[in-house]
Amino acid sequence: MILKIYARFFTNDTDKSLKLLQVILSREPDYRFTMGDLEITGIGDICLVCGTDQALAPYRESKGPFIVDDLDATREELIRLGATITRNQFQAETGSVFFARHPDGTEVEYVQWKPDLVKRLISA
């Protein structure tokens, strides 16, 4: 079900944060794109989310993203286990996404990546 879990880092300056991460992780970003007022960068096991404090506020308490192999099956299982969908499915640069609040109150972002990302970053 879960293919990969990212640690999410929030920042107001992507370039400043990314410069350090590239050195300590010895790698280049896996992806980088804009989603509304946010800039999203994946590098290693870190999902760097950049924006103003106001743009970041709705995401600061969420965990993840959890990359899954089947978003529909994941949603059904989460609901069966008592989770609540807090943000309905939408499309992002990397694939399909939704947010769910677990019964313990933890909010998690779930993503089903596009096949090319799975092939490049998971299957490789």
Q: What is the tens place of the pLDDT at every residue in 6-65?
A: 999 999 999 999 999 999 999 999 999 999 999 999 999 999 999 999 999 999 999 999
Position 123 pLDDT exceeds 90: no
CB atoms within 10 A of CB 92: 16
Q: Which residues contact 82 (CB under 8 A, 6 or more apart)?
A: 102, 103
pTM of this prediction?
Answer: 0.93
Q: Are 97 and 65 in contact (CB under 8 A)?
A: yes
Beta bridge partners of 41: 32, 48
Pick the CATH number of 2-122 from 3.10.180.10, 3.90.25.10, 3.30.470.20, 2.60.40.1180: 3.10.180.10
In this predicted structure, what is the pLDDT of residue 1? 84
Tokens 């943000």 sit at which residue? 87
Nearest to 122 by CA among 1, 8, 4: 4
- The burial class, CB within 10 Å (0-12 / 13-18 / 19+), for 90 is exposed
Q: What are phi and psi of 118, to 5 degrees?
A: -60, -45
CB atoms within 10 A of CB 6: 19
Across the chain, mean pLDDT equals: 96
In this predicted structure, what is the pLDDT of residue 42? 96
